[in-house]
Structure 1
Amino acid sequence: MKSCTETFKRRLRDNMGSNDFITLFFLVAAVLIFLQLRSVLGRRTGNEKPPADLSSPREAIKAPGADDSKVVTLPRRDAADDDQRLAEVDSLAKPETPLNESLRALLKADASFRPKEFINGVKMAYEMIVMAFADGDRKTLKGLLSKEVYDGFEAAIAEREARGEVVKSTFVGIDKADITQALVKDSEAQVTVRIVSQLISATLDKAGTLIDGDQENVAEVIDIWTFARDIRSRDPNWKLIATESEQ
């Protein structure tokens, strides 16, 4: 009985020693792996890809194995985009003319400026402003005009309302919208546009009598409007800062 007990204790001691050795082995291995990972993680090898630059040309980023439908495209400018904008300038103003040079200078100062998109925006703004003025829509005007121009429009609307006059207008369309001048002054870009439009407009007094314009015939209206934008601002919108009518 005694010999059996001693044999059991001896085997137990042997097993415990073996288990301690295995535990120590794994502990040492874990430390070595940790040190190896630590030597790699957080250390630059010179092969890392730079972070995406939102201001450079468009770049597609996707996870390995992802299909093209799940690609996230970041907005970037590239040489092709710059060439396209320059081509638009050349289509609007002859090369080597003062207007062409001033538009090219505007492109360099304002990376978001696209001549054709600007012209399309001017056409929409022109119709909105003309109709808002006729309707006395101060809220719309305030968002599209500089403070000085808004004050002038608002004063004219107030005087008209005080006399009990009503303006009835129908916007027919725009025949032409041509950039005539462009400049960058300090941080402000200014672009002047000559707009030829077709409009039916009549002013009636409080009794409904026609006092100005024509309720049926379409009239050609020529306006020279100047728009401005702070090129440092994130706000992409332009505002009307000056108006002039061409007789």
Structure 2
Amino acid sequence: MIYEIVILAMIAAFLGMRLYSVLGRRAEHEEEAIPTRFEDGKQAPPPAAAPVRRQAAPLPRPAGVVPAVERGVQEIAAADRSFDITGFLEGAKGAYAMVLEAFWQGDRETLKEMCDDDVYAGFDAAIAAREEAGETLDNRLIRIEEAMIHSADLDGRQARIAVRFVADIAAVTRDVDGNMVAGSLDDAIESRDVWTFSRMVDSPDPNWLLDETDEG
């Protein structure tokens, strides 16, 4: 009997040791930390981002051009590759000053060069009336406050661009003896005009003619 108990105890001990060896090893494996990509102290580079498609920024609109007339300006530029809206506006301001000065001084030759026949005829008639009355103008263009494209269109091969000018002008009218009869050189008056310039886009002459004047 004692012998059988000893045998059973030895068998139980053997099974216990086997069970411990299996469970103990499994526990040890379960306690082991799962290795990660960051254990080596070096952060893995982030995945490459998909390229972002960026739309090209629109070209800035030149000063003096509003959206409502931009299409006409683009049509003129397409028909005449040498056309530059910024240069045109600078030229228009110079023409505005020259035509006004020529009119005030009665310079018909300059007016004839810079205006079409109808506009020139209007200036010529006004100068003739002034001369008949024995009056002269002693006007001064103080400054051009604004020069803005008012309209632009291409009719066939003829380009027409209207520019709205806002300017300060000191106006004085003198009689035949030089006496001041109207106006003042000390008080400038704001003048608003819309002048239309035209040019054939295929003409070798780069100059624009003044073909219409109106109050703005």
TM-score by shorter chain over 0.5: yes
Cα-to-partner distance string for 1:94-144 (whole Å, 9 max, x where unaligned): 5xx431111111111111210000000001111101111000011111111
1:206 aligns with 2:206: no
Which residue is equivalent to 1:62? none
Match for 2:104 among 134, 140, 144? 134
Q: Please state whether the residue corresponding to 1:217 is helix, strand or coil.
A: coil
Aligned to 1:101: 71
Q: What is the deviation of 1:210?
A: 3.2
Q: Is 2:194 aligned against 1:224?
A: yes
Assess, with a 3 A threshold, how the Cα gap between structure 1 residues 123 and 92 changes in structure 2: closer, same or farther.
closer
1:118 aligned onto 2:88: yes
Question: Equivalent residues in 2 for 1:22-37 (5 A)?
Answer: none
Q: Distance in 2 between matches of 1:178 and 1:235?
A: 24
State the partner residue of 1:52: none
Task: Determine the structure 1 residue equivalent to 2:156.
Answer: 186
Q: Tell me which of the two structures has the higher relative contact order, counting C-alpha pairs closer than 8 angstroms and 6 or more residues apart.
A: 2
The match for 1:17 is none
Secondary structure of the equivalent of 2:171?
strand
Distance of 2:110 and 2:62 partners within structure 1:
34
Matched positions, count:
159
Letter in 2 for 1:165: E
Which of the pair is proportionally richer in helix? 1
- Report the Cα distance in structure 2 between the residues aligned to 1:110 and 1:184, rounded to whole angstroms: 11
> Which residue, 206, 211, 216 being the options, matches 1:236?
206
Query: How far apart, in 2, do the equivalents of 1:126 and 1:198 lie?
Result: 13
Based on CA coordinates, which of the two structures has the bigger radius of gyration? Answer: 2
Pair 1:170 & 2:140 matched = yes
Q: CA deviation at 1:157?
A: 0.3
Listed as ranges, the gaps of 5+ residues in structure 1 are 1-85
Residues 69-108 of structure 1, C-alpha deviation per residue, up to 9 Å, x if partnerless?
A: xxxxxxxxxxxxxxxxx946455445xx431111111111
Which residue of structure 1 lines up, in the alignment, with residue 16 of structure 2? none
Aligned partners of 1:89 and 1:104 also within 8 Å: no
The whole-number CA distance in structure 2 between the counterparts of 1:127 and 1:174 is: 9
Q: Equivalent residue of 1:228, what SS?
A: strand
The TM-score normalised by the length of structure 1 is 0.61
The residue type paired with residue 206 of structure 2 is P
Report % sequence identity: 35
Q: Shift of residue 213 of structure 1?
A: 2.4
Distance 2:194 2:83 in 1: 20
Match of 1:51 in 2: none
From the superposition, tell whether residues 147 and 190 of structure 1 become closer, same or farther in structure 2 (CA, over 3 Å).
same
CA distance in 2, matches of 1:172, 1:211: 21
Distance 1:209 1:227, change over 3 A: same
Change beyond 3 A, Cα 1:210–1:184 = same
Q: CA deviation at 1:184?
A: 0.5
Following superposition of structure 1 onto structure 2, how do residues 22-61 of structure 1 map, counting pairs within 5 Å? none
Report Cα offsets for 1:138-187 as digits up to 9, x if no partner: 11111110111001101110110011001001121111100011001111
